[in-house]
């Protein structure tokens, strides 16, 4: 009888017969509830989350899209002027040529290239930066900058190339006003011939560009060699000229690094032939030695277009 009972175990025996089975059941008893809890938490979180792309319709995103392109800021004319640092001037003006060593400009950080210039002393470097030399226009083409801001940029550039010049002292309040007046129009003697030469060049452009956009008025320009007639907006002679004077003049005044020189019809002809949209695309993205937006990173597409129209107006 006892042998029969051993051969036929009772149906109420435990399913866990080995230590391995016990460990497996204990692990599952811990892991399965954790997985279930995580799945429930994920389901609840997904129910409160919007669909993909829904962030584009949040109040903040909508407000950003419908905000006006232009704006204004109230400025206290009696408040002290805030001058740009040397690094800020470099990024806005000098980097166009000095970052890549365009037209023989000493490259930023190249101690060997800067050594002979630093040896001349700070005063000599500042005089060249203000008055211009060779392919470099006065103040790098940024006539709106004060001498103090140019001096800061000279110190920044020279020290990057191994110099040890001290930061120039800030001008007194009266000197700051004088510097502002110089920045507004009283430029050094050097740029005066450029302004005189630009005046007759701009005169014929103002005649064939009436507000009505009469195509017949542009026919003589096209017959004289321009590759095509492009409508010139009123902003070209105000906003566009301002962008040119502060940014584009650095390369286009002297035709640096293959840039079509202002007023050179033969050089501009192939660009004008591509159309305004293509020229604007190149100006925005940059090409060759020309950086994106010509370093005018704060300029809008409309302002860049006006600058191109201004330059085109000089060859039509």
Looking at the structure of the chain, the number of domains it has is 2
Same domain, 219 and 137: no
**Assign residue 100 a region: left if phi > 0, alpha if psi is -120 to 50, beta otherwise?**
alpha
Q: Is residue 136 part of a domain?
A: yes
Same domain, 204 and 304: yes
Q: Is residue 214 part of a domain?
A: yes
Q: How far apart are alpha carbons 287 and 68 in whole angstroms?
A: 30
Q: Is residue 266 part of a domain?
A: yes
Model confidence, pTM: 0.42
Q: How many CA atoms lie within 13 A of 71 on its CB side?
A: 9
**CATH code at position 140:** 1.10.760.10
Q: Is residue 2 part of a domain?
A: no
Q: What is the pLDDT of residues 45-87, one digit of tens each?
A: 776 555 555 566 778 777 777 877 656 666 666 777 788 888 8
Q: Is residue 51 part of a domain?
A: no
Same domain, 300 and 247: yes
Q: What is the pLDDT of residues 174-205, one digit of tens each?
A: 554 444 444 434 333 333 333 333 333 333 33
Percent of the chain, pLDDT > 90?
A: 4
Same domain, 131 and 212: no
Same domain, 112 and 137: yes
Same domain, 142 and 241: no
Radius of gyration of the chain (CA): 34
Point out the domain boundary residue: 143, 165, 184: 184
Task: Identify the sign of the CA torsion 43, 45, 49, 51.
Answer: negative
Q: How far apart are the first and last CA of the chain?
A: 121
Q: Which domain does 109 fall in, by range?
A: 86-184
150-166 as b/e, with b when 16 or more CB fall inside 10 Å?
bbbbbbbbbbbbebebe
Same domain, 160 and 106: yes
Same domain, 202 and 309: yes
Distances (CA, A) of 224 to 125, 205, 221, 269: 43, 13, 5, 11
Per-residue pLDDT of the chain (316 residues; tens, 9 = 90+): 445 444 555 556 677 778 888 888 888 888 999 999 999 988 887 765 555 555 667 787 777 778 776 566 666 667 777 888 888 888 888 888 888 887 788 888 888 888 888 898 888 888 888 888 877 888 887 878 888 889 999 999 889 888 888 888 888 765 544 444 444 343 333 333 333 333 333 333 333 333 333 333 333 333 333 345 788 888 778 888 888 887 788 788 777 777 888 888 888 888 888 888 888 888 888 887 777 887 777 788 888 888 899 899 888 8
Residue position matching structure tokens 């039509």: 316
Same domain, 175 and 245: no
Point out the domain boundary residue: 124, 158, 184: 184
């Amino acid at each position: 009888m006892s042998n029969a009972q051993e051969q036929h175990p009772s149906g109420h025996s435990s399913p866990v017969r080995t230590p391995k089975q016990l460990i497996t059941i204990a692990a599952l008893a811990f892991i399965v509830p954790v997985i279930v809890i995580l799945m429930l938490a994920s389901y609840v979180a997904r129910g409160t989350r919007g669909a993909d792309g829904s962030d584009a319709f949040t109040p903040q995103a909508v407000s950003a899209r419908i905000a006006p392109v232009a704006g204004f800021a109230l400025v206290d004319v009696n408040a002290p002027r805030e001058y740009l640092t040397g690094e800020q001037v470099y990024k806005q003006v000098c980097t166009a040529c000095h970052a890549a060593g365009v037209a023989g400009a000493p490259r930023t950080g190249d101690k060997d290239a800067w050594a002979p210039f630093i040896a001349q002393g700070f005063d000599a470097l500042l005089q060249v930066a203000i008055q211009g030399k060779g392919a470099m226009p006065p103040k790098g083409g940024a006539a709106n900058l004060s001498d103090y801001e140019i001096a800061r940029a000279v110190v920044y550039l020279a020290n990057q190339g191994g110099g040890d010049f001290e930061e120039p002292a800030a001008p007194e309040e009266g000197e700051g006003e004088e510097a502002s007046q110089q920045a507004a129009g009283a430029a050094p003697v050097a740029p005066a011939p450029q302004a005189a030469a630009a005046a007759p060049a701009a005169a014929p452009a103002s005649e064939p560009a009436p507000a009505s956009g009469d195509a017949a008025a542009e026919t003589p320009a096209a017959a004289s060699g321009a590759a095509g007639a492009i409508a010139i907006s009123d902003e070209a002679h105000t906003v566009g000229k301002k962008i040119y004077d502060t940014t584009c003049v650095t390369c286009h005044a002297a035709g640096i690094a293959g840039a079509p020189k202002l007023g050179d019809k033969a050089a501009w002809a192939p660009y004008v032939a591509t159309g305004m949209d293509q020229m604007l695309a190149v100006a925005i993205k940059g090409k060759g030695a020309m950086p994106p937006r010509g370093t005018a990173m704060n300029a809008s597409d409309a302002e860049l277009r006006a600058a191109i129209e201004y330059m085109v107006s000089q060859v039509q």
